[in-house]
Amino acid sequence: MTVHQHGRYSTPVEDLPSRAVPEAAVGRLAIYLRVLTSMIEQGVTTMSSEELAGAAGVNSATLRKDLSYVGSYGTRGVGYDTAKLVEHIEQLLGLTRHHSVAVVGIGNLGHALANYGGFPDRGFPVTALFDVDEDLVGIPVGGLPVDHVNTIPEVCAEREVTIGVICTPASAAQIVCDLLVAGGVRCILNFAPVMLQVPSDVEVRRVDLAVELQILSFYQARRSPGPRAGAAPVDPVAVIR
């Protein structure tokens, strides 16, 4: 019944394996992982903290601290072995197991996610699609047939779904969330603009595009106090015509 959408700084009673890893660090580790795999494809076998930090857009000290959560797998005077580092980060992030994903609400956004190839490639196979619309049930989207929302609990348990993605209208999000939880899903990615009520052992992450746009709007408003848009300071490349 606890409400704790974001703002989780690892549980107060911290007796879990290895040091507590700050959430911000976890997010960055995921980025390092992407940079590293990209570099490995280009044949790079070793990177210094400075190089990797530059590519990821963070401070090199921050990067080294983040990597220290993973363990000491660098070589002083040389840098990090890219392949080894990828291996250890994947282990910390739990990416050695595949995480089966269910998408609920196959509308505009649900279609996009179901058709997206980037998730299976990264170890997140989409194994279930759900919608309440009878016309959609049975139709394959991205090669996978849509099931009815009523079957969420059974199907999720059966296919061992670990991550549920909610793409329904806001009004249906809580009901769908409850069904996912009933199906044993304890990780939820929520695109609907509502705060979900979940048991304390369920982790919810919210992606709120409207909020992102409004934050951008705020900075835009801060920059140009006058009502007209043209009052830019100086931007050599933005000179039009």
Partner DNA sequence: GCAACTTTGTTCCTGCGTTCACAAGCGGCT
Partner DNA sequence: AGCCGCTTGTGAACGCAGGAACAAAGTTGC
Report 154-213 residues binding ligand NAD (CB under 6 A). 167-170, 172, 175-176, 191-193, 209
Q: How far is the CB of 123 from its own copies (least distance, A)?
A: 8
Q: What CA–CA distances, in Å, run from 168 to 34, 154, 191, 208?
A: 29, 19, 8, 13
Residue 19 C-beta: closest distance to DNA, Å: 9
User: In terms of CB distance, is 4 or 34 closer to DNA?
Assistant: 4
What part of residues 24-63 is at the interface with DNA (CB under 7 A)? 24-25, 47-50, 58-62
Cβ-based nearer residue to ligand NAD, 64 or 122 = 122
> Cα separation of 151 and 130, whole Å?
8
- CA distances for 6 relative to 104, 172, 175, 203, 214, angstroms: 21, 21, 20, 9, 18
Q: 83 vs 195, which CB is nearer to its own copies?
A: 195
Distance CA(44)–CA(57), nearest Å, equals: 18
CA angle centred on 205, ends 204 and 210, rounded to 5°? 130
Q: What are phi and psi of 168, to 5 degrees?
A: -90, 170
Partner touching 122 among its own copies, ligand NAD, DNA, none, CB below 5 to 8 Å by kind: its own copies
How many residues bind its own copies (CB under 8 A)? The answer is 86
In whole angstroms, the minimum distance from the beta carbon of 76 to its own copies comes to: 26
Residue 216 CB, nearest approach to its own copies (Å): 4
Among 3, 11, 16, 23, which residue interacts with DNA (rule: CB under 7 A)? 23
80 binds, among ligand NAD, DNA, its own copies, none (CB under 5 to 8 A by kind): DNA
Among candidate residues 159, 211, 216, the one with its CA nearest the CA of residue 190 = 211
16 binds its own copies (CB under 8 A): yes
Under 8 Å between Cβ of 58 and 28: yes
Map residues 55-94 to x or -, x wherever contact with its own copies holds by CB under 8 A: xxxx---------------------------------xxx
Q: Contact at 8 Å (CB) between 133 and 117?
A: no
d(CA 56, CA 39): 12
By a kind-dependent CB cut-off of 5 to 8 A, residue 9 interacts, out of ligand NAD, its own copies, DNA, none, with DNA
Does position 144 interact with its own copies (CB under 8 A)? The reply is: no
Using an 8 Å Cβ cutoff, are 206 and 199 in contact?
Answer: no
What is the SS3 assignment for 36-54? HHHHHHCCCCEECHHHHHH
Q: Which residues bind ligand NAD (CB under 6 A)?
A: 104-110, 112-113, 116, 118, 130-133, 149, 167-170, 172, 175-176, 191-193, 209
